[in-house]
Structures are given as C-alpha cells and as structure tokens.
Chain A
Amino acid sequence: GGGGGGISAQTGAGGASTEVKQQLADTLVFANWPAYIDKKGSSRPTLEKFTAETGVNVKYIQEVNDNEEWFGKYQAQLSQGQDVDRDIVVLTDWMAARMIRLGYVQKKDKSAIPNEANLVEALQNPAWDPNRDYSLPWQSGLTGIGYNPKFTGGPVTSVEQLLTDSKLKGKVTCLTEMPDTMGLVMQAQGADPTKVEPAAFDSAIDMLQQAVDSGQIRRFTGNDYLQDFPAGSTWAAMTWSGDVAQLQSDTPGLEWVIPDDGGMIWTDNMLIPTGGDVFTASTYMNFVYDPKVAAEIEAWVNYICPVEGAKEELAKIDPSLAKNPQIFPDEETLAQVKLFDAEAADNTDLKEKFQAVIGV
C-alpha cells in the first residue's frame, strides 16, 4: 500500500472481467495436494492421457499441504493481481469461498466444460458459489475416526470416547483443520455444524480444551497423522476417509469409522487463480469430468468421487472399490455426515478461538 506499506487483501483484479480466448496454452500448471492423483510408478497416467489428447503438457505440483498455508504463500501476489503461475489449484470449500470472495480467482469457461453435467447433484449449488461459476469439485471426503485395534484393544467409535477415554490418553490426535475437528466435536455435543451458533461452538471449544489440558490429545496434525500411526505414537485419531487405504498399508489392522454422533464431509474444489489460463484449465476440468478418467483417478485416490457415472466405470476396473461406501457413499453413509458452515469456517473470531486451543 501507499504511504509506507502494509499488506492488504484488496480485491484483486481477477473476476470475470476479461474475454476468454479459446486457445490452448502449451502447459497447464496444476497445484494439488500430495498423493491426490493417480500414479503408476513415477508416471501419472491420466495426466499423460490429457497431454496425448490435447498436446498440453501438465506441470503437476504437489504443493498444497494445508489450505491456509497455501493461501498465505500466494495471498500477497494475488492481492496485487499478480500472476501466481498456477492454472488450477485445489482448495477446500471454505478456502475456495474465501478465494472467490477476495476475487483471487477467474470464472471458468463453461462452454469448454460440457462434462460438468456429470457433477453429482448434491454438490451443484454451494452457498459460496451458487452456480459453480468459479469452482468445480475435485474430490470429496469424509472425516471420521481411525484407530489401531492393536493398541486400543477395542473399537473407538465416538468422539466422546476419543476425547475422554483414559486408556487412550496421550495417544490421540485431532486435525488442525478447524471445520473437521470442530465439526466432529460439535456433533458429539449434539450441535449442528452446518449452521454454527457461537454458543455451541464455544461449548465444543471447551470440550476440546479439556481434552488438550488433560493430555488426552497429543497434538493436532494435518495428514501427518499418517506417520504417527505406523510409529505407534498415535492409537486413535480424527482422520480423513481417503487415507484409510494408505493407513492400512503402513499400519495393518487399522480401522476407520464414522463417529456414532456423525462425521463430516467436505469437498476440495478446482479453481483458476488470477493469471491462470482459463480455457486450458477449463479444458482440463472437462477432461477429468469424463467418468472414465474420473474412475481411473478414483481407483488410486480412494476419496469420494463427485462425477456421476464414475462408479460404473470403476466397476469395470475394480469392482470391489466401486462397492466401497467410503468412495461411493450410500444414502445411509451420507445421512451420517454433515458439511461445515462455510462462513463460520472462515470467521476470524472462531478461528482464533480454535487456534488458541491448538496452542498458537
């Protein structure tokens, strides 16, 4: 800013302003979370297929470890309307909402994405992007409880148990993503995480704080709980559904459940940041919304696929996966999970309260 500096997040120059040119760029830069796309040896088959079909090379960067962290990294440039050299980035609902609100993203070229029709109905109209003008889901996931029966001696099925069972003391981790952790805790208290009431939030914070103070909770993690399980440091934890397969390979016998009082569901969305090539990005979005491609990705990623028809395609590749409720949740499963209030997820007050509990 003028007069001696300061950083501000003034609305960027993005938005829907410019005409979209209908021409593919040479390269597509795709920023995604680690281990979030199909992989075979050191190659990534669907990306190669995209290149083969369109001639566009893909530069795939696994740099999103954390929504906030990624945002923090690029916020400055985005706020100045600078190109961050990313054509697509995948961010979770509430962060996607923030990006859109701040004008750091560009509208998709819907004309280039006929396959958007395959988007599952439940995800078509989020409050923060009612027409999906800017975003398109990449994967959804469930937040539940993972536990290692070898140590716990029995199932851990409720958040209550997780936070109070003295047998688990010091062997429990929760998530640093506030919507996940708070969503689970609020449900354990019978509150509704889809519409956060401050009082309910505070009471959940109290419960969490107690568990921290008593030493029940060892620490808060991103998906680094992945290493705490095999190391034996963590016995039970709040974890994401897609990691179960992963966890099971490193920690045989590991179990994953949706808590008795209800789990959380969330979606990670593809966005086109300021400066990204809209047409190329949209072309890629269209590509992954082809059920065949989606199934191929799904077979590796194991999260919830937002593409209608992928289940059928996947059945052709791996029938057992297609039946997995964590990948294609049935009605019953979906009834047990809730979506966290997107506005609350980005509310500074609430965030600070949560940060205070996790110690920073």
Chain B
Amino acid sequence: MIFLHRHRWATPYLLLLPGMAFLAVFFLVPTYYLANTSLQSGDLFSGYVFSWAWENYTDAVTRYQAQFLRSLQYAGLATLLAFLISYPLVYWIAFRGGRWKNLLLLFIIAPFFVTYLIRTLAWQTLLGDEGFVVQTLQTLHLLAEDGRLLATSTAVVAGITYNFLPFMALPIYVSLEQIDQRLIEAAEDLYASRVMAFLRVTFPLSLPGVFAGTLLTFIPAAGDFINAQLLGTPHQSMIGNVIQSKFKVIADYPEAAALSFVLMSAILVVVLVYARVLGSERLTG
C-alpha cells in the first residue's frame, strides 16, 4: 500500500497498461500488417511479397471509383436520413418523455438486440416484391405496378439507415438531455417563438451530439456490405463488398488491404471536412 502511495504517479500507467497493450497489439500492429500487405505484390499461387507495390493503391482508386463514390453517397444519405428520423424522435423523448424517458429510449436501441443479419433479413421479407409494403405502395400508386423496393438503392439506403440509426439517436439524445431547460425559457423570455428558440438555442446546443452521431453512423455505414448484399443488386455494391470479395473470394490480399486504407483515408477526409464546416469550436461549446 505504501508502495502504491509512494508511486502514485505510476498508478495511471498501471491501470492503462493491460488495456492499452491489448489495443496496441491487436489494433496498431494489425494496422501495420495491413499497411504492409497493401504494398505486396504477387499472386495466390506464387505467394505475395512486399515490394512497395503502390500500384495497388492507384489500382484501387481507379478501378473502384464507382463503389467508393457510392459508399460515400449511400453512407451520407443514410446518415442524413437517420438524422432526420432520429432527431425529432429523441427530441420528443427528451422533452416530452417525462418519467418514461428511459423506457422510450429502450425502443430506440431495441433493433440492436435483434441480430444484425436477422433484422436485415426481416427487411428482405418486409420489402419483398409480394410483401405488404410494396403492395400497399402500389395500391396507393406511390410505386409503379412493376416497381419494387427490394434490390434497389432505396432498400439498401433504408437498410443502412435502419441498422445504424441508434448510433445517431443516442448521442443526440444525450446532448439534448443535457440542455438546461432554463436556456429555452430564457430564449422565449427574449421574444423567441418556439421555432426560433429551437433554431437559435436548442439546436446549436445539441450540435455536439449531432456531430458524434453523424460520425458514428457515417463511418460504419461507409464500410458496410451486408445491406448492399442482402438488399441490393450489383448496381448497389459498395466498397465494403469489394473489400470483402477481394479478401474472401479472389484472395487478392494486397489489393484488399489497399482498398481498406483508401476507404479509411476517404472517411478521414470526409470527417475532417465535416468537422471544419461545422466548426470544431462550436462543438465544444
């Protein structure tokens, strides 16, 4: 005990050591290996060897531009949709939920408790050409007679939106929940109508949550391949599908690794631009 007390400075490091060592070995080292792999060349039969093969990157960028763009586009769209759906919802819970808040919140994370694949399969059932959603929409003439939902980009985006919505909703909820009610009263006291009070006070104050939510939604969405695979067609395949197939089907590991890195950088760029646009200072305020 005395030892612990005397060496108080060491305590944080002792606490960090096991976890950080684990992350270092199983996150940083793999990243290094991935980087290494991405610069290898060769083929499955003769083996892949490290050779500064930057062409893997040029290849990745040029050949799969469409999928990259589509991934960013779908992820962006899904993020936007998730935001539009979840913001009013969590706003309602945070400000109208009263005693039931925690219970209502439970409904938001409910999808998490049904295995990812199962809920995506449920979407398949729901959106099936003979399913009731399509039939209803067709009866209402919102969808052409020969129209379909499954195997369209609509389905893929809807699936992605659905699967990552809780990631958007929870941080926004947290930031809304933390807003001091008196600030809204103060705004109304200063002649802001409810709408203005929302626009000028509530919304700006919830931006940190929106920021966190968009990142937590956008990042996994951009790398997803399940939704495109189960709900889409070749026209909807995303970069995640390509990486997946390079790893598991074509066994072209260097190319797959290069694609992974390009994906990470693309996400990083989008995130940085986004942070810049939103203004990082406002976020901390």
Interface residues of B in 230-280 (CB under 8 A from A): 232-237, 241-242, 244-253
| Cβ–Cβ contact B234 & A72, under 8 A | no
B90 within 8 A of A: no
Q: Which single member of B37, B131, B237, B246 contacts A5 (CB below 8 Å)?
A: B37
A338 within 8 A of B: no
B180 within 8 A of A: no
B97 within 8 A of A: no
| Cβ–Cβ contact A170 & B151, under 8 A | yes
| Cβ–Cβ contact B37 & A360, under 8 A | no
Residues from chain A with a CB closer than 8 A to the CB of B242 are 360
User: How large, as a class, is the contact surface on chain B?
Assistant: 35 or more
A20 within 8 A of B: no
A217 within 8 A of B: yes
Q: Which single member of B37, B125, B251 contacts A72 (CB below 8 Å)?
A: B251
A63 within 8 A of B: no
A52 within 8 A of B: no
| Cβ–Cβ contact B43 & A10, under 8 A | no
- Interface-located stretch among A109-117, A132-140, A349-357: A349-357
Q: How far is the CB of A68 from chain B (nearest CB, A)?
A: 4
Residues from chain B with a CB closer than 8 A to the CB of A219 are 151, 232-234
Determine the distance from Cα of A215 to Cα of B46 in the docked complex, in whole angstroms. 39
Q: Given A220-B234, A232-B129, A359-B235, check contact A351 B250 (CB 8 Å).
A: yes
| Cβ–Cβ contact A217 & B233, under 8 A | yes
A3 within 8 A of B: yes
Q: How far is the CB of B65 from chain A (nearest CB, A)?
A: 12
Count how many pairs of residues, one from A and one from B, have CB atoms less than 8 Å apart in the complex: 117
A61 within 8 A of B: no
Q: Which single member of A8, A231, A348, A356 contacts B129 (CB below 8 Å)?
A: A231
Determine the distance from Cα of A71 to Cα of B236 in the docked complex, in whole angstroms. 26
| Cβ–Cβ contact A72 & B247, under 8 A | yes
| Cβ–Cβ contact B47 & A9, under 8 A | yes
Determine the distance from Cα of A203 to Cα of B172 in the docked complex, in whole angstroms. 53
Nearest A residue to B235, CB-CB: A359
Determine the distance from Cα of A233 to Cα of B123 in the docked complex, in whole angstroms. 13
B111 within 8 A of A: no
Q: Given A72-B251, A360-B241, check contact A101 B45 (CB 8 Å).
A: yes
Residues from chain A with a CB closer than 8 A to the CB of B36 are 4-6
Determine the distance from Cα of A5 to Cα of B38 in the docked complex, in whole angstroms. 11
Q: Which single member of B40, B42, B234 contacts A212 (CB below 8 Å)?
A: B234
Residues from chain A with a CB closer than 8 A to the CB of B32 are 4-5
A69 within 8 A of B: yes
Residues from chain A with a CB closer than 8 A to the CB of B48 are 1, 6-9
User: How large, as a class, is the contact surface on chain A?
Assistant: 35 or more
Nearest A residue to B228, CB-CB: A359
Determine the distance from Cα of A3 to Cα of B39 in the docked complex, in whole angstroms. 13
| Cβ–Cβ contact A69 & B234, under 8 A | no
User: Which of A5, A218, A231 has the largest count of B CB atoms less than 10 A from its CB?
Assistant: A5
Q: How far is the CB of A311 from chain B (nearest CB, A)?
A: 36
Determine the distance from Cα of A5 to Cα of B48 in the docked complex, in whole angstroms. 10
Nearest B residue to A10, CB-CB: B47
Q: Given A1-B49, A68-B249, check contact A6 B40 (CB 8 Å).
A: yes
| Cβ–Cβ contact A348 & B148, under 8 A | no
A39 within 8 A of B: no
B221 within 8 A of A: no
A73 within 8 A of B: yes
A92 within 8 A of B: no
B44 within 8 A of A: yes
A102 within 8 A of B: yes
Nearest A residue to B51, CB-CB: A6
Task: List the 8 shortest-distance A-B pairs measured between CB atoms, nearest first.
Answer: A8-B47, A359-B234, A359-B237, A232-B130, A72-B248, A68-B249, A360-B245, A231-B128
5 chain-A/chain-B pairs, Cβ below 8 angstroms: A1-B47, A6-B36, A231-B131, A232-B129, A355-B245
Binding site for B on A (CB under 8 A): 1, 3-10, 66, 68-69, 71-73, 75, 101-102, 169-171, 212, 215, 217-220, 227, 231-233, 348, 351-352, 355-360
Binding site for A on B (CB under 8 A): 32-33, 36-37, 40, 42-50, 63, 67, 124-125, 128-131, 146, 148, 150-151, 232-237, 241-242, 244-253
